[in-house]
C-alpha cells in the first residue's frame, strides 16, 4: 500500500505524515514545485514538471488496488477509483464509485457558472472540524485497506479459508 498526496494545495499533509507513520505506510508527496517534507525514508517528495495536470497524471499512472490518494481534485479522484485505489478529500469526505459521477457533474456545472460570471464563491474555508474528520477517516480507511490486503493474502495462501464450512 502507498499513500499518494496531491500536495500543491493540500492542507492536511502533516496529518497524513503522522497517521502514515503510525500505520507504517509509504507516502508519496506529489507536487509541481519543491516542498518541504520531513526527513523520513517513508516519505518521498516527487516533483513533477510539465504543467497544471502533470502531478495528477503522475499519481494516476502509479496508483492501483490497495493504494490511497489524498486529493481535492475530483477528476483525479475519479481516475484513482477507476484504478482500484481509494480516494479521500482533505475535508475527510471519501470519494466513492457510487457518487463520483455526481461530483464530476457538479464540478462541471459550477465551472460553467463561474465562466458565465454567475458563481463567484469557492468552497467554504477549511475548519478544525474538517481536519478532525480527515484524521478519523484517514485512519479508518488505512485500517480497512490493511484488512482487505490481509484477507486477500490469506485467501491466496490458503484457498479453503473463508468458505462456509471451512477447508475441504
Q: Which three cell numbers stand for residue 63?
A: 496508483
Give the pLDDT confidence of 13-31 residue by residue, as tens digits.
999 999 999 999 999 999 9
CB atoms within 10 A of CB 72: 19
Q: Which domains are assigned to the chain?
A: 2-96+126-157 (3.40.50)
pTM for this one? 0.82
Dihedral of CA 153/94/16/27: which sign?
Answer: positive
Predicted local confidence at residue 149, as pLDDT: 86
Q: What digits encode the pLDDT tens for the residues 148-159?
A: 988 888 887 766
Task: State which residues of the chain have pLDDT below 50.
Answer: 162-168
User: Distance between CA 8 and CA 45 in Å, rounded?
Assistant: 11
Q: d(Cα 32, Cα 54) in Å, to the nearest integer?
A: 7
Amino acid at each position: 500500500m502507498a499513500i499518494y498526496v496531491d500536495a500543491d494545495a493540500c492542507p492536511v499533509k502533516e496529518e497524513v505524515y503522522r497517521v502514515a507513520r503510525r500505520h507504517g505506510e509509504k507516502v508519496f508527496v506529489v507536487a509541481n514545485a519543491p516542498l518541504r517534507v520531513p526527513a523520513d525514508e517513508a516519505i518521498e517528495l516527487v516533483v513533477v514538471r510539465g504543467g497544471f495536470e502533470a502531478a495528477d497524471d503522475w499519481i494516476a499512472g502509479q496508483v492501483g488496488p490497495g493504494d490511497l490518494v489524498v486529493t481535492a481534485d475530483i477528476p483525479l479522484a475519479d481516475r484513482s477509483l477507476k484504478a482500484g485505489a481509494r480516494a479521500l478529500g482533505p475535508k475527510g469526505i471519501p470519494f466513492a464509485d457510487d457518487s463520483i459521477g455526481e461530483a464530476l457533474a457538479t464540478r462541471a456545472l459550477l465551472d460553467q457558472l463561474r465562466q458565465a460570471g454567475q458563481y463567484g464563491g469557492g468552497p467554504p474555508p477549511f475548519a478544525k472540524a474538517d481536519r478532525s474528520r480527515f484524521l478519523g477517516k484517514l485512519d479508518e480507511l488505512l485500517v480497512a485497506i490493511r484488512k482487505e490486503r490481509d484477507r486477500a493474502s490469506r485467501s491466496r495462501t490458503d484457498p479453503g479459508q473463508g468458505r462456509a464450512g471451512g477447508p475441504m
